[in-house]
Structure formats: C-alpha cells, structure tokens
Amino acid sequence: MQMFHCSGHTEVCYNRSGTTFYSCGEDGGIRIWKHLEDEDHQTLEIGETVRSLRVLGNKVFAGTESNTVQSYLLPDGSPDGILCRFTAPVTHIDLSEDGKKLVAGAGDFAIKVVDLQDTSDQVILQAHSAPILSVAIDPLTEFVASTSCDGSLKIWNISEKSWEKSIVLFPKCSDISLSKTLARIAWKPKDGQLLAIPLEREIQLYERDSWDVLFTLKIEEETLGVTSVVSWCPDGVHLASITSVGFINVWNTSSKKCIKSFKERKDLPLRCVVWNPKTGTSLAFTNNLGQIGILDQVLDGSDQQTKSKPESKETKEDFTDLFDDMADDDLLDAVTQAERKLQEGSDEDMDEDMNLDPDADLRRKDKSLSNLLITDDTSQDGSNIADDTSASVVTEPKSLPPLVTGPKPTPLQKPFIPSSTPVHLSSRFMKWNMVGVIRCYDTDEESSIDVEFHDTSVHHSLHFDNQLNHNMADVNSQAVLLATEGDEDTPSQIRCQYFASWDTQKEWSISMPKDEVVKALALGKDFLAVGTNKRHVRIFTLSGIQKDLFCLPGPVVTMAADEQKMIIVYHQGPGLPGDQCLGFQLYQLSKKAKAVVVDSRLPLSAKSTLTWLGFTVEGTAASVDSNGIVRLYNQQSSAWISVANTKSHAKGKSDHHWIIGMQESPAQIRCVSCKGSTFPPTLPRPTPILLPFQLPLCDLEADKGQLEEMYLREKLMAGTNTAGQDTLMKMFALSCRAEREVRAADVCKMMTTQHAWTLAIKYASRSRKMLLAEKLSEMAAELLRADSSEEEDEDEDDTWQRRRKDPRRRERSDMEEDDHQEEEEEEEDEDADQDDDMPEMKPIPTKHRPLVMKPKQKPSLIPLTPVSSEKRNPFKKSASEAAKETQEEESPTLGGANVFDNMKKRQSNNTDGQKNKKNQKKDKTPPSLRGTKKAQMTLSSMGGKKQEKPSSEGTKSEPKSASQKPASAFQLWFEENKSTIAAEHPEVESETEIFKLAIQKWREVDTETKQKWNHIASNQGSKETEEKDDTSKHESPAAGTTTDKKRKREEDDKENNNNNEKKLKAKNVFAKSGGGSLNKSTINKLANFARD
C-alpha cells in the first residue's frame, strides 16, 4: 500500500495489456506506474480533479471536475480534445470492450455515449433524476447500465436511446458525496450475459435481456461495511467486491461462493478495485486516502479453478506440438479449434466471426474442447497438475453457458405512437399529424402540453398542464386525446378534450381498471380507441361512452384511425432472428357495428421495426419501417405495396425522415428531414418537406422502367380502371419505336378505354406497323364482343331503363345511317386533325391533341354498316355533305383511314351477326343502340365529365356523339351571345371569326355560368326529343330546337366561307379539307375544344 494521491476519491485502471496501471485522484494528476514501487513513475498534470479514467492504446480518457471528458495522448500527456461536455462534474466513465464507445455519467443527471471514432456521434441518455453514480457499458455495446443517487438502476438501450429497465435498488441521496455506496456495477466480460450490482449486503446478478435477478451472492457476516464496487475478472467467472470498511472479497460466480476475503489494515473505505486484464490474477485497489494497493496472486493456488484458465491455455500450446506428431487428425482438428476458441476468448477484440458462428458449431467446439482436455489429462499420466486441470476443465463449459444457447429471440418491439419522439426527452413531440402538433415540455419548472393546429380555423391552440404525466397523445379535427401510463399508485388514465362538441363540457377523463395500462391510442371520427397491456382494445365515443371492448391476439404495437377506419398492429409472435413478427387488423367502424376488414401479417423489411402507421389523406392504410420503406395497403389486392424508400432521399447514412403523414393525390409523403438523427428536436421548429412516391421497379433509369413505374403508381393511387391511360399510350409508343410489337400489343391489352385502343391502332398504322395494327384491331374486336355480350347479360334491366329515359334513342334507330354518317364525319375530321399533327406526334405521341377531344371522339371500333352515300339522310345535307366531301378527299391520303375502313368492313360481318342474335333475343332493342352502347358508356365515363348528367346511368344514356352535339351548352350560349359578340367586334365579318371569338369568350366564362348553360342544354336536349317526334323527318338532329337559327347560320357560313376560304387556308391547318366542309368541321371541332 502506497500513498500516491492526496486524500479523496482515487481511481485506478490498467491498460489493456496489463503492464501499466494508471491512477488519478483529487490532486489533479494522472500517474502512470509500471509496478507499485516504480520510482520514476510518470505524472500527467491535468490541473483538475480527475474522478474517473480509462486507458485505450495511447490515449487516456479522464472524466474531470471541469464537466468534461478529456482525452490525453501518451506518453507526454498532451491534450487530445474534449470528448463530451456536461453541465456538472463527470462522475464516472466507462469504455466498451471493443474500445469504440465511451460512456460517461455526470452530476447533471445525464449520460452520454460517445463514439470514439466520430466523437460528434453522441447519444444522450436522460431519465435519472439525480447525479449519476456509475455507468457501465455492455461488452456487446448494446446496453448501458447506470446507477444514480436517485437510487435507481437503469438499463439503457443505446440504439433506442431509452431505458429498458429501471429498478430502485439503492438508498436515495442528493449528491454523490453523500452517497453511502459508489454503486459501481459491472458487466460480465466478453458476452455481457450478467450484470453484477453491489447492494449493501449482497451482490445481485441480473440476466441480460430478461433483466431478472439470476442469482445473488450473499456477503458473509464477518465482512463489514457496505459493498460499493464490483469488478469482473477477465475470465468472466470471478468477481471482486470491496466494502466501505476495507474488505475485499473475491467470488466465484459458478460456485456462487466467496473464495477469498482480504482486509485492508486501516478499515478505510475502499474506492476502486480492478483486475489486471492480462494475468487476471492480481487486483489493484484504492482507498479514500489516495493510496493504491495491489493484491497479487489472488487466485493463485488456493483456488484451482482460478488458476486453470490461464494455465490451460499454456498447456494446450504445448500439446499442439505433441499431437502433431501423433497425426491424429480428429484430435488435431479439435486442438486447433479449441485453441482458436481460447485465443479468441482472451483476445482484446471480440472476433465477430465467433459471434456469427452457428450455435451448433460452438457447442461442438465446446464438446471437443472438454474431450480434448480430458484426453490431455490422461495423456499426462495422471500427474497432480493434470488432475487439477481436468477437474477445472470439466466444470468450465458449464461456467460459459451463454455461448451455447440457441438463437436468441429478437426482443419484441415496444409499443409506440406514430409521429412522436421518445418519451425521455424533456421537450418532445407527442404527435405531429395532418391536423396539428402536440408538444410536451417536461422540465423542472414546468410540465405542460401544447396543442397547435396547422389550420387555425379548426381550433385555436390549446395548453394543458401535465401534472399527471401524460405521455401519449393524438389529435384530429374534433378532439385531443391524452393518456398516461400511470404507476403503482395511480391508474393509467385517458383524457379527452372534445373541443368540437357543442355543449359546454368539453373535457372528460376515465381511468383504466387496476393494472391495465394504455399502450397505444387512436382518434377517429366520433370515436377513440385505446390498446392496453391486457391486450384489450377499448372503444369510446368522443363524448365518453364506452362503446366497445375486444381482445387482440397479441401485445399491441401501435394503432391509428381515420374517419371510420382503424388499424391495429400487434405482435404475432417471435420473428425470424432479428425480425419482428407483426400482424395487423383493419377495422371499419360503422354506426351499427364494427367489422374486421382484414387480419393478416404486416410486412416489414428484414431486421427492421415498424416506425410509423397511419392513413393517407385518402384513407389508405400506410406503414413505414425503420429501413425507411413506405408501404400502402391495397385493399383490392389485399396486399401491402412498397411505394417509396425514404432512405433513398437521405443524404447521409445517419439521416432519417420522420414521417408526419401521406397523401395519394398528389402522391407525397410529408415528413421532417432529420440530419444525423432519427427524430427532430422541437426547437428550432422543424419544417415539413414532401417526398414523392416511387415504386421499386427494375430499371428505373430507362424510359421504359420509368413509364412502367408511373403507370403502376397511377393505377394504384387512383384505384380506377381508367387511370394511367396516358402513360400506357407513352409505353405503347415507346414499344413501337423499339420495334417490340408483341410488347406493344401487351401494353394495348392493359388499356381499358376504347379511346386508348383507337389511338393505339391509329398510331400503329401510322408508324407503318401494319401487322401490329391488324392484330390490335382483331384483339379490339374480340374484346368488344366479349364486352357487349357480357353487358347484354348483366345489364338487361339497365338497358331498358336507359331507353325509357331517353326516348330519343328509339327514334334514332331509323336514323341510324344518318348517325353513322355523322360519326364518319367526326372520325374523318379527327383523322384530318391527327394527320396534321402527325409530325409532332411521332416523336412524342402522347402529346397529341386527340386526348383533349375525347368527348367528341366516336370510337371507330364500333361496328358500323359500311358507309354508303345512298343511305344518307337527305335532310342533313348541309352537314353531312360536307362530311362526305371531306371523307372522299381525305381517305385516299390517310393510311389510318384505310386501315379502319378495312377493319370496319371486316367487323361489320361479325357484328351484324351479333346484332341479329341480339335482335332475336330482344326485338325492341335497336341495333344501333346495341352497337354504340358500349362505346358511349366508355366515352361518357372517361371524357364527358363536364357534360350534362353526373350519375353514371344518366351519363350512359346521354348521347355524346356528334349528332347530339347541337344541344351542347356552348352552342346554346353561342346562339344567345352571337349578336353581342358580333356587335362588339364589328371588324370581324366572317362567321368563323365570330365563332372563334365566341370560343375565347366561352372559355373565359366562369364555371357556374357554364354549368347553367349545361343545364339548359340538357333540358333542351330532352325537350328536343319530344319535338323530334314531329320534326325528325324534316330536320336534322344536329339542330334541335335551334334548327332554324342554326340553319340560317349554316347558310351564312357557306357564304362567308367562300369569301374567307383563301384567308383561312393560309391560317387554318384544316384548310385542306376545303370548302364548306371546312367550316362545319372546324366549327364542330372548335366547339368541342371550348367545351373541354
């Protein structure tokens, strides 16, 4: 025993090789000793009282009274920077076995875990309510154990930054100087399977993961004082403890007995005890007078087991040679294995391979080790030493059981509230969703909760006092829900602030039954739900009625609700190693009853946990896991689809996106980008950012992949059949250009609208892919037939209804030909249009305008009677003649038109047959209706949105073809306002010009007026039909009630037209359709444009 430091707290520590030891004390120096009588020991003058120190390589880390953990370089002791700072003196530091992490505790109740490779990477652990007494880092660097003057022992999970276990074990005091015990705890070296905790008269050993007391070492009667420090021998079997009156005990944890007891002469309180890491046999200790003592050969002789460990290693080295000669393969193998194992065991750095080794392998090794050793012993001719060794070795595998247990079950993920930050923070987000933000401040001065609404029109900000320690919350546009977990004395409670209620009692609270603790909660429309540790889900109305109670199959993880939907995620059982095994239940809570929509497994990425759960604005369930994968639940296909990876947007590896909410259209993820952390601080106020969705498809760099991704995403988000047709067209064009005709045909098969089909066929024929065009037409015809026969069966009643509703249909049957004329006209018209657009269309076919013209488009796939001029309606001359002309002029020039003509002719046979069949079945059905019905449906559902009737049935029955166009709102409006416009622009003479002006005006007219006109138009449409009974023979349906005026106009048109022809030709792209036809078609077209 030597006097080295001035009196006061003194600590000692060995370097890793055990050759030198370092001591520190209140005199402000660190001394470096080769041995106890080292005369020229070195002193590093720190100038601050060093409370704790650790040595790694050429660095000394010292926790000082100046509130910092400093690093010094050896041998000269030059400062190497500050590792971390506190606001009070550092009380204890510890270094992980791999030398990568340093943990420090201080008088300001905080614990910091510093990554020594990157000292900016610090984890702060705060939950103790008194100065930290000691800290200890787990050899596997997963956990930190800490004790504090508040009497508690806490075990922290470093990655989660929260404590897993907290127990009050020690007497409470206000400062370390007043504490009776230093409470220096220690993890079992290498595997950290045990945590030794010195209590007053015993040492408790806690088991890893379960954190239960595995066994207790009782202090014998004769040992006096309070046990305050424990230290593990590097062999992981022996334990040294010291007491406040100078006793040193050495324990064997496998026999659970005290094997040695020493007494320091002066009964002085001992402060520190450490084992020599190399030899594992000597102990260094200090007392509070600044003296250091060393006990050599603690485990020598008196306890054979102790000695065996270091010795056996040596013996084996010898034996390897021995067995080499014997050339016993098995044995040799065993020896090398055993040797490797032992070496690994004694290596400073934990070999990772060893950890990863399958257990079976380890077990085998263990066996071989003991076998080997027994063999060794026998070969040693039963000498005394050998006997000793054998005895020890046989027991040895027993003392190292943790290495051979089966795969460790993955710890179950703890329950959490989506979009909240950890509970232990003094200022944190309890919830951040689409409605508002709930923040919680928990400091010494105040404990309060702030609720702030994004939309101030929902409610003004709220402020609650948080005496009850609410730590869970949710908010929606009706209420704020808070919940506490309670403790032994107070039950768990929920509190609801129903601010949207119309009476004066806005608030209510309710306590859970004894021992039932709220673990998760969710707030939906008019209900709230809580999940408890008893696996109950309790549903309340927002006014506080207990409405429902049901059980979950496993412990709840989290839950979320939106409108009438609720999703609950629970543990289904242990997952694969590293994985969670979660299940989810989706509920639909209607007024009458609650229905489980689905109960199934929740997919997660490998070795990840669920981090967010909620609904999109549109009401689709969504989840996010710790690997940043965002998934949406597609109810149609009952599958979770991964729609985004937030990690791909993160700049650094440690950057995260903290999810707030999601929206499907436009597809966006609302989140907060956190640099270097998993969640945002409350100050400075974080700003949400938006991330896009992107399905993880292959080959996203190429156009093809991008388009496919876009189509899938659009289809998924929209949930309708007609979504993504534009994208499909692009894909089609791309495949065409890449000469992939079969692929193009496949793309076509995915198209759901006739319009898209038409365009595709046109495109194919124009890009000279005749084979493709032909195939497509065949497919289209097939499809059409299938569709119409299906419809026939399904919608019989429907058809009747429709016909009743739309008497015009019936009369139209005899004017069928006329209709077709018109259709043809339209088609040609469009062909012409497209033809003009062709140059532009070729490179980017989807830019074409036809999409804009949907409403007027008459799908050419509809089987038509061959166009013949004889059947033309003589009364429609003014309109259809023009069309005729156009057609005659145009068709020879158009590749597409040819194709269609052929196709039509081909199809007409089929469809005629079909029609006959139908007619037999149902005579009353006019053939034209049969033929056009499908097309009209599709068209109206996809294009005719702005048109008259909103209900699908209505729209179906509403004719959209060109022949009914006169009833359009614009034309009515135009009739009304023509004179005004003409007056306003006297300089304009031609009808067409006026028409154009009118179109411009019409576009400017606001939607309401448009609707009004639409309404009038639709009314007139029906009126018109009545009239038509009389007039149909005389008047073209193209005119309706306004026929007279219209005809006049048309005549005017003609006149004007001739005058303006030249002018128009120059200007108008449609000029080449020439003459009167130009005007008519142009006007029609423009009218449609305006309507769009």
Binding site for other proteins (CB under 8 A): 434, 436-437, 453-457, 670, 684-685, 687-690
537, containing H or E segment: strand 536-541
Per the CB < 8 A criterion, the answer to whether 39 and 27 are in contact is no
Of 562 and 827, the one with the shorter C-beta distance to other proteins is: 562
**Residue 586 tokens, joined:** 């989706």
Q: For the CB of residue 460, give the shortest distance to other proteins in the complex, in Å.
A: 11
Q: For the CB of residue 673, give the shortest distance to other proteins in the complex, in Å.
A: 12
Secondary structure of 83-101 as H, E, C letters: EEECCCCEEEEEECCCCCE
Q: For the CB of residue 1004, give the shortest distance to other proteins in the complex, in Å.
A: 12
Of 684 and 892, the one with the shorter C-beta distance to other proteins is: 684
Of 206 and 679, the one with the shorter C-beta distance to other proteins is: 679
DSSP for 319-378 reads HHHHHHHHT-HHHHHHHHHHHHHHHHHHSSSPPHHHHHS-HHHHHHHHHHHHHHHHHHHH
Of 436 and 943, the one with the shorter C-beta distance to other proteins is: 436
Q: For the CB of residue 453, give the shortest distance to other proteins in the complex, in Å.
A: 8
Read off the amino acid at residue 890: E
Residues composing the chain: 1092
Q: Give the span between the Cα atoms of 137 and 461, in whole angstroms.
A: 43
Which residues, including other chains, have CB under 8 Å from residue 482's CB and lie 6 or more apart? 430, 449, 464, 470, 472, 473, 494, 495, 496, 497
Q: What angle do CA 573, 576, 579 make, to 5 degrees?
A: 85
Q: For the CB of residue 248, give the shortest distance to other proteins in the complex, in Å.
A: 54
Per the CB < 8 A criterion, the answer to whether 731 and 759 are in contact is no
Q: Give the span between the Cα atoms of 522 and 418, in whole angstroms.
A: 10
Q: For the CB of residue 561, give the shortest distance to other proteins in the complex, in Å.
A: 19
Of 642 and 682, the one with the shorter C-beta distance to other proteins is: 682
User: Would you give the distance in Å from CA 60 to the centre of its chain?
Assistant: 43
Q: For the CB of residue 514, give the shortest distance to other proteins in the complex, in Å.
A: 40
Of 685 and 1048, the one with the shorter C-beta distance to other proteins is: 685
Angle separating helix axes 882-890 and 1075-1091, nearest 10 degrees? 100
Read off the amino acid at residue 73: L
Of 636 and 687, the one with the shorter C-beta distance to other proteins is: 687
Q: Give the span between the Cα atoms of 622 and 643, in whole angstroms.
A: 10
Of 432 and 1070, the one with the shorter C-beta distance to other proteins is: 432
Of 434 and 761, the one with the shorter C-beta distance to other proteins is: 434
Q: Which residue has the tokens 């920077």?
A: 81
Per the CB < 8 A criterion, the answer to whether 665 and 718 are in contact is yes
Q: For the CB of residue 79, give the shortest distance to other proteins in the complex, in Å.
A: 26
250, containing H or E segment: strand 247-252
Q: For the CB of residue 995, give the shortest distance to other proteins in the complex, in Å.
A: 26
Of 690 and 702, the one with the shorter C-beta distance to other proteins is: 690
Handedness of CA 1058, 1063, 1068, 1071 (dihedral sign): positive
Q: For the CB of residue 454, give the shortest distance to other proteins in the complex, in Å.
A: 3
Query: What is the Rg, in whole angstroms, of the alpha carbon atoms belonging to the chain?
Result: 43
Q: For the CB of residue 662, give the shortest distance to other proteins in the complex, in Å.
A: 12
Of 478 and 725, the one with the shorter C-beta distance to other proteins is: 478
* DSSP category for residue 289: B
Beta-bridge mates of residue 95: 102
Q: What angle do CA 286, 289, 295 make, to 5 degrees?
A: 25
Q: Give the span between the Cα atoms of 306 and 253, in whole angstroms.
A: 11
Q: Give the span between the Cα atoms of 1069 and 871, in whole angstroms.
A: 31
User: In 3D, which of 741, 1075, 689 has the Cα closest to residue 884?
Assistant: 1075
Which residues, including other chains, have CB under 8 Å from residue 516's CB and lie 6 or more apart? 491, 492, 532, 533, 534, 536
Per the CB < 8 A criterion, the answer to whether 941 and 955 are in contact is yes
Q: Which residue has the tokens 């063999």?
A: 375
Of 668 and 911, the one with the shorter C-beta distance to other proteins is: 668
Of 551 and 683, the one with the shorter C-beta distance to other proteins is: 683
Q: Give the span between the Cα atoms of 999 and 991, in whole angstroms.
A: 12
Q: For the CB of residue 660, give the shortest distance to other proteins in the complex, in Å.
A: 8
Of 398 and 685, the one with the shorter C-beta distance to other proteins is: 685
Q: For the CB of residue 483, give the shortest distance to other proteins in the complex, in Å.
A: 24
Handedness of CA 304, 307, 309, 314 (dihedral sign): negative
Give the β-pairing of 580-589 and 688-691: unpaired
Of 117 and 457, the one with the shorter C-beta distance to other proteins is: 457
CA atoms within 13 A on the CB side of 934: 25
Give the number of other Cβ atoms within 10 Å of residue 205's Cβ.
21
Of 496 and 671, the one with the shorter C-beta distance to other proteins is: 671
Of 209 and 450, the one with the shorter C-beta distance to other proteins is: 450
**Residue 475 tokens, joined:** 């908010």
Of 437 and 707, the one with the shorter C-beta distance to other proteins is: 437
Q: Give the span between the Cα atoms of 61 and 114, in whole angstroms.
A: 12
Q: Give the span between the Cα atoms of 532 and 516, in whole angstroms.
A: 6
User: In 3D, which of 287, 217, 305 has the Cα closest to residue 247?
Assistant: 287
Q: For the CB of residue 647, give the shortest distance to other proteins in the complex, in Å.
A: 22
Q: For the CB of residue 684, give the shortest distance to other proteins in the complex, in Å.
A: 5
Q: For the CB of residue 710, give the shortest distance to other proteins in the complex, in Å.
A: 23
Per the CB < 8 A criterion, the answer to whether 513 and 481 are in contact is no
Q: For the CB of residue 423, give the shortest distance to other proteins in the complex, in Å.
A: 24
Q: For the CB of residue 577, give the shortest distance to other proteins in the complex, in Å.
A: 40
